[in-house]
Amino acid sequence: MKRLALLVLVFALAFTGVVSAADTIRIGCYAPLSGDSAMVGKSLVDGVQLAVDEFNAAGGIDGQLIELFIEDDEQTPKVANNAVNKLIYEDNVIGIVGTVASGCVLSSMEISWDAEVPHITPIASGTSITHMGNPWIARTQASDELQAGAIVRYAVNDLGAKRIAVIFQDGDYGTGGAETVKAILKDEFDMEPVAYEQFESSALDVSAQVLNIKNADPDAIIIYTMYQQGALVAKKVRELGIDAPLMGCGGLTNAKLYELGGDAVVGLANTQTFFADASKAAPSAAEFITKFQEKYDGRIPDSNNAMSYDAMRIMIEGLKYSWEKEGSFVNTAIMEGIKSVKELPLASGTITMDENGDANRDILIIGITDGGGYELIK
């Protein structure tokens, strides 16, 4: 009964019709701003903030500007739930952008689903997020299905790998991604991993797992972890004298990977949706890179910055669509506008939203160079 009363209250406050020109457009954002993943959380917020600042500087929608409400989810499902509850039931937001970890999204999106609040996750890649029948969720990150498929095909088709080892951290991201890699290897290439090693995400030593991989004599190693654990694995791989090429997916995308892994991660290939080189990028991506560097003191954006910027831009498309169609910000029209985005050139590519809420575009393979830079492999 208490939950029902809260839902009635939020509908009365947030979905009663026209938002007048004197009001702000209240949008929520949540991300891990403390703990081990704080750097990724900051990337998310920085990308969202840039899009909000651009929108407001251009006058918003008929003078209505976005007011951004930000919460720390500590990359913990319980805290993520609390953050989304606060954004909806206390801050009365009409749209939400967040968060990083698939487990946090899967848990907290139940709350935005119940409240029927449009919700876009920029970074979480778990395939199930957009395949659970939730009509209020969308995503700008490429799903594990798209990323795992791209890295497996690169290993097999481009490198000619026949003996692939997989090492992954526990939890929704690592386990879900590794299972997707395993399924694609089997379904497309009739192959099984020669080693399939899991470790706890809090582990400080992965010697046993990497030794098992060495004994399996792989010709490629797929790492399905976040960047901290990826650096740990790469260093142990090279320490044990394994020279097989290393590769992985979007969780490895962070400048900290090189800072933590040093020479051990040079040459590592991973899937990304964005390449931060304005001289080689499409015009929309080059424009984003320039604006980001102007706002953030010359800092080069990463793919998490780009996907988060794009998530807010797509939320804005939903807001515009609703205003044009309804003359107000209506939750159903906002979500309809989000899923109506077609061939929109943004920072991480030209995006078309599908019926599940996934942002389809090309997947890039990026390599890490000496000094922690990036090169476009494919």
Q: What pLDDT, in 10s, does the model give residues 263-321? A: 999 999 999 889 888 888 889 999 999 999 999 999 999 889 999 999 999 999 999 99
Q: Let me know whether 349 and 217 are in one domain.
A: no
Considering the domain architecture, whether residues 136 and 149 belong to the same structural domain is answered as no
Asked if 36 and 127 sit in the same domain, the reply is yes
Q: Give the count of beta carbons closer than 10 Å to the beta carbon of residue 350.
A: 15
pLDDT, tens digit, 9 for 90 and up, residues 233-267: 999 999 999 999 999 998 887 788 999 999 999 99
CA distance linking residue 71 with residue 98, whole number of Å: 10
Residue 371: count other Cβ atoms within 10 Å of its Cβ: 7
Q: Are residues 177 and 233 in the same domain?
A: yes
Are the C-beta atoms of 7 and 115 separated by less than 8 Å? yes
Q: Quick one: 162 and 267 in the same domain? A: yes
The residues facing 61 across adjacent strands are 64
Would you say residue 278 lies in a domain? no
Residues 172 and 255 in one domain: yes
CA dist., res. 372 & res. 231, Å (int)? 12
- CATH classification at residue 6: 3.40.50.2300
pLDDT tens digit sequence for 38-69: 999 999 999 999 999 999 999 999 999 999 99
> Residue 161 domain-assigned?
yes
Domain boundary among 230, 248, 272: 272
174, 220, 235, 328 from 77: Cα distances, Å: 16, 33, 30, 33
pLDDT recorded at residue 22: 45
Instruction: Supply the pTM of this predicted model.
Output: 0.80
The structural domain count of the chain equals: 2
Answer whether residue 188 is part of any domain: yes
Residue 306 sits at φ, ψ, to 5 deg, of: -65, -45
Tens digits of per-residue pLDDT, 23-37? 899 999 999 999 988
Same domain, 196 and 207: yes
Q: Provide φ and ψ at 134, rounded to 5°.
A: -80, 110
Same domain, 296 and 337: yes
Which residue, of 272, 305, 326, is where some domain finishes? 272
- The DSSP 8-state label assigned to residue 153 in this structure reads H
Same domain, yes or no: 57 and 160: no
Task: Name the pairing type of β-strands 364-368 and 269-272.
Answer: antiparallel
Tell me the residue range of the domain where 167 lies.
145-272
Judge whether 74 lies within some domain: yes
Q: Please say whether the beta carbons of 176 and 106 come within 8 A.
A: no
Whether residues 303 and 266 fall in one domain: no
